Structure 1
Amino acid sequence: MKAGTDLAQIASLVGDPARANMLAALMNGGALTASELAAEAGVTLPTASAHLSKLSTGGLMRMTRQGRHRYYALADHQVAGMLESIMGVAASLGPKKVLPGPRDNAMREARVCYDHLAGERGVAMFDAFVGRGLLAVSGEDVGLTERGTAFFCDFGIDIAAMQGRRRPVCRSCLDWSVRRSHLAGGLGAAVLERFVALGWARREKNSRVMHFTPPGRAGFERMLRDDAG
């Protein structure tokens, strides 16, 4: 058999139900302890530790120490994007569920996908940026236009610093609930960070849900319009 990490190895890591629950719990971009992840997965701490070792060795998680504690997080944005895409396939091909409750409605409207905005608002934002000529889409490639560069700089985002990093400035990410693309990459993360800094949105505690404030909703809607200034 060919040596090295391949599709089957990655699939086997994600495919275990306990490990899948652990990975999903980290899709908010945060870090959790082994005990917290054990609770998320519904397994004992020794079993969770074994799973975490496999996920870390496989490159899907990273571990950091703070004092006596060890914290686990997703390895990077690429892992988060892969998980979001798998969730989209699962939602499309999996068994039909009963009508979701209010919490699911909130997740569908606006949530964090690792470090960028997802859900209906994330998809609407991506579509508006493309429609306004701020982003250019060619097949799978997403690029920032000159007009977009000026707009986002005015919005308080340092595009120049972003362009010097290894992470792509713009990337599309398949949204599992809407099943269309939202904005990922460095720009997607910076836009969400800016929303929080402006007080437009806040993250629900222990959840991926993002709640927009009334001023935030108004500002967000202005941003989507061609006449936004």
Structure 2
Amino acid sequence: MRVLGVDPGLSRCGLGVIDGTAQRAVLRRAGVVRTAPGDPTASRLADLHRAVRDLIAEERPEAVVVERLFVHANLRTVMSVGQATGVAMLAGAEAGLEVAEYTPTEVKAAISGHGGAEKSQVAYMVRAVLGLAETPEPPDVADALALALCHLRRGIVDLAADGTDQGRAGAGQPAASGDAAGGLSPRLAAAVANAGPGAQVTRPSRGRGAGAPLDDATPGEEASA
């Protein structure tokens, strides 16, 4: 499946196209669309719409994936991100494509196995899974690729109904006890992701105590306009 991930933003919008399956994906194209802050908002949105529309026409993805808007203290940021999100969704709908939305927590859970993973962990996973020599820059590109990968992996990671994340190494596989699946280091998470469905994580208990996470993960997310 070919997927276009869009990390929406009015000043800077990350775009990433990948091909593949939940177990193996390759990068086709990635970059950032920038608009001038001094230009009228309508003109900037038109530029963004044109860029997404042209990329869809050139790469012919089967789905467009955007980050679901979430509450943020900065109302101006929320508004600009919401406008950019709407433009990206419109471009996908105009092309007759599937349009999907995922929250930052869902993306982190799908990519790293833990919904509270740090952005650096997610970026590392994107690099590892796609076999890239370097971590995608700027961060908007890594976020866009993570969204696309999340769509491919939507059947691998289940989110608990109470809002906590239970990382699944494979569809239908129970999460390891003590948050072992949720607290993976970037290198170990990459190995689990590349192993595909059915992979399991076993962790020694000595030194840190049974049930202790392998890595500390700090929840939280900020939107960029």
TM-score (norm 2): 0.28
Query: Quick check: which one's helix share is greater?
Result: 1
Larger of the two Rg values belongs to structure:
1
TM-score (norm 1): 0.28
